Amino acid sequence: MKPLVLIGFCLFVLFGFQRKSARMSWRDGHTLSWSDFQGLPSKGSAFSASSNTGISHRFTIKSTGIIDKSKSIIKANFYPKLSWYKPELIDEFTLKHEQTHFDISEVHARMFRKAVAEFHFTRNSKAEIQRIYKKIESSRRKMQSQFDAETEHSVNREAEKLWEVKVQALLHKYQPWAG
């Protein structure tokens, strides 16, 4: 019986490590490099690159049924194995475009942290946190789509520069809620 427990523990550690290493959290001062993109390009895709980003949230509910804000962990993540590029179609502007996608997710992680910090949770914390998340996630997806549409997926260099400035201003605006 003990060997089974040990094998189970080893599998848990192995899979836990793989899951944890399967994403990269946004860090101030760190920019993406092409080596971070480890996925295979989507067959038939007309795009030169794709970065898969998102927001994760871990939280604890106290015995009172109310969320423990001090244990709330919200991260913007980049998923290397789900992100890819086509070497023959990329340039330095493409990488900056993909970085801006990651930065947009960080802006929304900060917005989420701010919303959690300011919200007065009740015993209905799980439903309340889900509503907050859905609102933030909807905004994040909308901004990601708008960014791609307005920059024509990094083709429109003028629009790209405007978006870079806009996103950096938002990161600055929400700096008090950086992770």
Average pLDDT over residues 10-23: 46
**Nearest-CA neighbor of 55 among 105, 127, 18, 126?**
105
Q: Is there a contact between 79 and 56 (Cβ–Cβ < 8 Å)?
A: no
Average pLDDT over residues 172-178: 97
pLDDT of residue 9: 33
Q: How confident is the model at residue 67 (pLDDT cuts 50, 70, 90)?
A: very high
Give the ranges where 78-121 is alpha helix by DSSP (H): 92-118
Q: How confident is the model at residue 152 (pLDDT cuts 50, 70, 90)?
A: very high
**Nearest-CA neighbor of 67 among 75, 77, 76, 58?**
58
| Residue ranges per structural domain of the chain | 24-177
pLDDT of residue 8: 33
Q: Is there a contact between 55 and 137 (Cβ–Cβ < 8 Å)?
A: yes
Residue with tokens 């493409």: 94
- H/E element holding 77? strand 73-78
Q: Judging by DSSP bridges, how do beta strands 73-78 and 24-25 pair with one another?
A: antiparallel
Residue 27's Cβ-side half-sphere holds a number of Cα atoms within 13 Å equal to 7
Total-model pTM: 0.87
Query: Assign residue 104 a region: left if phi > 0, alpha if psi is -120 to 50, beta otherwise?
Result: alpha
Residue 165 DSSP one-character state: H
> Does 5 have pLDDT greater than 60?
no
